[in-house]
Amino acid sequence: MMLHCDDMATPIAPGLDNTIVPSPLLSHKPVRGWAIFLLLATLAVPRGAWGQAAAADTFTRIDAVIVGLSAGLYWAPDVLGIEAGPPDCLPCDRASLPFFDRFSVAEVRPFWDDLSTVFLFGLAAATWLDLMVAEPRARESGRSQIVASAESAVLAVGVTVLLKEVVGRNRPVLYTDGAAGIADPAAQTRSWPSGHTSTAFALATSYVLSQSKKGTGVAARVGVLGVAAATGLLRVAAARHFPSDVVSGAAIGIGSALLVHAIRF
């Protein structure tokens, strides 16, 4: 059985009972969303609570508003009963797709699917570690930048989750000849926008904005944007998303980071 982070239920071995009954709060929720919310909760604890020297708290009421808004978007589908529902076609007609999306119709490729998740979490780890490992006088600033990065990602996840449920776009696999044999086709109706891509670009853009203020790290800035773009390309290569899903996800991620940084700094 394999679970992926864009949806908590994925079709698996044919001929077996693959029914998954998710928890109401975990239904189709990206695992990365929960991980980032947990990180934010940890960063919100005043430094004095960890036995460190007292310092100005970097998590303010503005941060609480951003996180609260993001959480509201994230859980709105559960609270309001918004659900994408099952597909209206099995298989769906490829001719109904925009021409630039048709080439990505294929069965899911698990290797590329898993690799895109590795890229995403690797991007988060690398950027946050770089922001944390700063000279002593800049560590508080680095902590603040990590909070901004996590908030950017959480906002992107919240917007993405809500749009997935409202729009309910079919994933590429539903346009293949094997669509009728999918164990849980309803779990394949949350294609637009790409959550991996929106989160990756939120992280990368936030990092770029943080480094730009210092006027350093040009190579690192280009590198993280490249990793974010590669994450989106892997989503298409994995046949988990259409190119238009990825482009839209990138726009959401960039916009989320720009908004958070404009509010916080």
Domains of the chain: 31-46+57-264 (1.20.144)
DSSP 262: H
Residue % of the chain over a pLDDT of 70: 77
Residue with the bigger pLDDT between 202 and 24: it is 202
pLDDT tens, position by position, 101-142: 999 999 999 999 999 999 999 999 999 999 888 655 555 678
Residue with the bigger pLDDT between 21 and 34: it is 34
* pTM of this structure: 0.84
Residue with the bigger pLDDT between 85 and 139: it is 85
HSE (CB half, 13 Å, CA atoms) of 202?
Answer: 35
The distance of Cα 187 from the centroid of its chain, to the nearest Å, equals: 17
Residue 9: pLDDT over 70: no
What integer best gives the mean pLDDT of the chain?
Answer: 84
Residue with the bigger pLDDT between 213 and 209: it is 209
Q: Which range among 179-183, 199-203, 237-241 shows the weakest confidence by mean pLDDT?
A: 179-183
Q: The tokens of 66 are what?
A: 């951003």
State the Cα–Cα distance between residues 216 and 180, nearest whole angstrom: 53
Q: Which range among 42-46, 50-54, 104-108 shows the weakest confidence by mean pLDDT?
A: 50-54
